[in-house]
Copies of this chain bind each other. A is one copy, B any other.
Amino acid sequence: MVNEHRSGPVRSTAAREAILDATARLFHNQGYDRLTIQGIAKEAGVGKQTIYRWWPSRGALIGECLAEGRLIPVDFVVPDTGDLAADVETWLRSVLSILEAPEGGALLRSLVAAATEDAGVGAHLGESLGVEKYLTERIRGGIRDGQLPTDAPVEQLGRAILGAIIVESLGREHHDSESIVHLTRFLFSPRS
C-alpha cells in the first residue's frame, strides 16, 4: 500500500501560521541571538512540542520564514532597460534601502547569523534578495548583449556583490551606499 492511512487530526494550519508569524515578529524585534523556541511558543500561543514536531531547529524556522518572504517582504526584481550597469544599480539600491532602514544592519547580521547555523538559511539568503532569480539572470542577459565578456563569472559576480554588502555590514562602520554602488559600476560598466 502506498497510501498509509491514519486516524486523528492533521497539521493545524492555524498553528503553523501563528508560529511563523511569531517567529518573524520576534526575529525583527530582538534579532536572531535572542530568538528562543520558548519565546516563539508563548508569542504564538502554542505548545513547544508543536514547534518541535514540525521544525528541527530554530534555524529551520527562520529558513521557512525567509523562503515565504516573511523576513524580507520585498521582491527584488531587476529591470531590463538595456543598460546592464544601470539595471544592476537599481537592484542594488533597493537592497541597500533595507540596510539603511533603522536596525537594517542588525537585520542583515541576524540573517547571516542564522545562515551560519542553518544550511537552509544560507542557501536561500541570496535567493530571497533576488540574486539568483533576477540579478544573475540579468547579468546573463548582459553577456548576450555583449556588455560583458562571454567568460564573465556570472554567478560569482552576484555573490561578490552580496558578499561585499555582508562584509561591510559585519564591519559596522558607518554605512556608505555609494562605495558599493561604485563597486557595481566598476564591475558592469562597459569595457572598452
Contacts and interface: CB of A to CB of B under 8 A. Distances in A.
B164 A156 contact: yes
Interface stretch (A65-73, A85-93, A113-121): A113-121
Contacts of A163: 159-167
A180 B167 contact: no
A179 interface: yes
Contact of A183 (B110, B153, B167, B168): B153
A122 interface: yes
Question: By CB atoms of chain B within 10 A, which of A116, A122, A165, A191 has the most?
Answer: A116
Nearest to A32: B116
A84 interface: no
A168 to B, nearest CB: 6
Given A155-B179, A191-B191, 4 more contacts: A122-B170, A122-B171, A153-B183, A157-B183
Interface of A: 32-33, 109-110, 112-113, 115-117, 119, 122-123, 125-126, 149, 151-153, 155-157, 159-168, 170-173, 179-180, 182-183, 186-187, 191-192
